Each structure stands twice: as structure tokens, then as C-alpha cells.
Amino acid sequence: MREPLGLILAGGLGTRMGGTLKADVSLGGVTLLARAIERLEPQVAGVVVNSNAPITPKLPVVADATREHLGPLAGILAGLDWAREHDATHIVSVAVDTPFFPCDLVPQLLMAGMAHPDGLAVAATADGIHGTFGIWPVNLREPLAAFLADGHRKVRTFTEARNAAIARFPDTTPPSFFNINTNDDLSTAAQWL
């Protein structure tokens, strides 16, 4: 397998943050998008951002594969399309609102994916599965499109149905997969900086 491409999922509407795009939210004077790029870029061959609103990263941007705001899987589907166009075999997805994700995320997902016939793996801690952090083989593009077309939305339902391998990460402080959904979460994250 060649080095995977990276996908930053930033397609949400930010409704719990008053409609503010999470990519633009500042944590310690740095946007969440810039923090995600800084952590992901050294681990992959290239990075694309999934967003349904105008943003201005110095990276390619792809909108969801559908217009219905179907959640992270629609962004992953768009990322798989982009990866296919760039002759990649896999993408690694991360959520833009999770500023402390591991700096060894990709190698750990790659190792875990060796236990799956297609290389599909998702991250987990003692708190549970963190399905938006995963390595996705491009050959899952059609099954994922069919899953969404059938009205399904849950990442976990899809990954469990495909018997995704699990990459286990230790508990840390701050928690590696702490995500910022509210202004209170943002304040908590700022205390950990």
C-alpha cells in the first residue's frame, strides 16, 4: 500500500456553536483547521479538506458527495472520490473539531488495518470507538455510496458491518479524541493548552 492521503472532515454546520464553522474556531489563537492540518500533514502524502462552506485553506477542498448534509460519511465518500482521482488506495479521516488527536494516528491505523482484508480500521480508546478517525480503502466507495443511498448515516453501523479493524490508543490528558461541540468544550480545550 502506498502512503495514504489525509482527509479533514469540516463539513458540519456548527449548529451547537451558534452556526460558526468549526474550521474557523480559534483555540489558543490558532484555528481548529490549522491545528488539524499541522497534526495530519506530516503523517500522509497529501491533505484535502471536506467542507460545504467557503473556507480558504491552502489545500484542496471537496464538498460532501450529497447536498443533504448526511454527516461525516458523506464527507468520507467525497474524500474517497478525491483519493481515487489521485490514484490513492486509502485515505485517513480526522475530524476538524478534535485538536489533540494523536501524532502517530496514521501509523497506528495502518498497523491495525493489516488485520482487515481491505485495510479498513478505526480508532478507539477506553471511552469507545472514534469512527471519524479511520483509514478507508478507496474500494469501499461503492458500498459506502449504497449505504448512504439506503438512508443510513451512522459511521459505526457502516464500520461494524464491514468488520473494521480497531486501532487502540491509550487514555491521555488531554484526551486524544476530545471534540469541541460547544463553547464550554472550547473553554475546556483552552485550559489544556
Query: How many domains does the chain fold into?
Result: 1
Tally Cβ neighbours within 10 Å of residue 14: 17
Which tens digits make up the pLDDT trace of 135-166?
999 999 999 999 999 999 999 999 999 999 99
Which tens digits make up the pLDDT trace of 35-48?
999 999 999 999 99
Distance, CA of 154 to CA of 112 (rounded, Å): 21
Question: Confidence band (pLDDT; 50, 70, 90) for 19?
Answer: low
| Per-residue model confidence (pLDDT) at position 58 | 80
What CATH number did the domain enclosing 145 receive?
3.90.550.10
Distance, CA of 125 to CA of 90 (rounded, Å): 23
Q: Which residues contact 120 (CB under 8 A, 6 or more apart)?
A: 113, 134, 135, 136, 137, 140, 159, 162, 163, 164, 165
User: By residue range, what is the domain housing residue 35?
Assistant: 5-192
In terms of Cβ atoms closer than 10 Å to its own Cβ (0-12, 13-18, 19+), residue 65 is buried
Average pLDDT over residues 34-62: 89
Average pLDDT over residues 115-123: 96
Write out the DSSP string of 89-119: SEEEEEETT-TT--TTHHHHHHHHHTTSTT-
pTM given for the model? 0.94
How many contiguous H segments (helices) and E segments (strands) does the chain have? 6, 9
Which residues on neighbouring strands pair with residue 95, listed in sequence order? 9
Which tens digits make up the pLDDT trace of 21-30?
899 999 999 9
